[in-house]
Every structure is written in C-alpha cells, then in structure tokens.
Amino acid sequence: MPDGYRPYRGSAFVAAVPEGGKEDGSGDDVTFTDQTEGVKRALSIQRVSVLPSDPGDALADAAREYYETVLKTLRSPS
C-alpha cells in the first residue's frame, strides 16, 4: 500500500484510498473526500449494476451518477 493510503474493501474489490479523508457511504457506494485545507479532491466508488443489463446503459448511468456526485462534492462548502 502506498504511503498515505489505506485499503478499502468492497464486496468485489479493494482500493487504496487516502488516509484521513472523509468517508460517506459504505460497501460498494462510497465517496472519500480529501480534508486537506485548500484541496478539492474526491474519490467515488459505485457499483455499476447488480442486475444483468446492457453494459452501455449501465456504464452511462454510472458515469452520470459519478458526475453528479463529484459536482455535489466540489460545490459543497468545506
């Protein structure tokens, strides 16, 4: 694990996330926000789909949700 990161375990993945970040959510739908003063950085993890579906639709939905999550995070006051 790189210095300054910790492992985060979802149902089917492991990710290296920044230490000391704010964690919102759990499991496969979670966002980590850097709490460093003057920094606007976040990592959002979302399950694309739990049901079999068209891969293009699932990816488009995930991209739209990610974009909306990032905008909310960047626009929210610190």
Q: Give the confidence band of 14 by pLDDT, cuts at 50, 70, 90.
A: confident
pLDDT of residue 44: 67
Q: 21-66: per-residue pLDDT in tens?
A: 788 888 777 877 877 788 777 666 666 556 656 767 777 777 788 7
Between 46 and 72, whose confidence is greater?
72
Q: d(Cα 78, Cα 63) in Å, to the nearest integer?
A: 24
Q: Which residue has the tokens 């068209």?
A: 54
Is the distance from CB of 35 to CB of 43 less than 8 angstroms?
Answer: no
Q: d(Cα 76, Cα 22) in Å, to the nearest integer?
A: 13
25 - beta bridge partners?
A: 30
**Model-wide pTM > 0.75:** no
pLDDT of residue 40: 72
- Beta carbons within 10 angstroms of residue 32's beta carbon: 23
Domain ranges of the chain: 5-75
Q: d(Cα 40, Cα 72) in Å, to the nearest integer?
A: 12
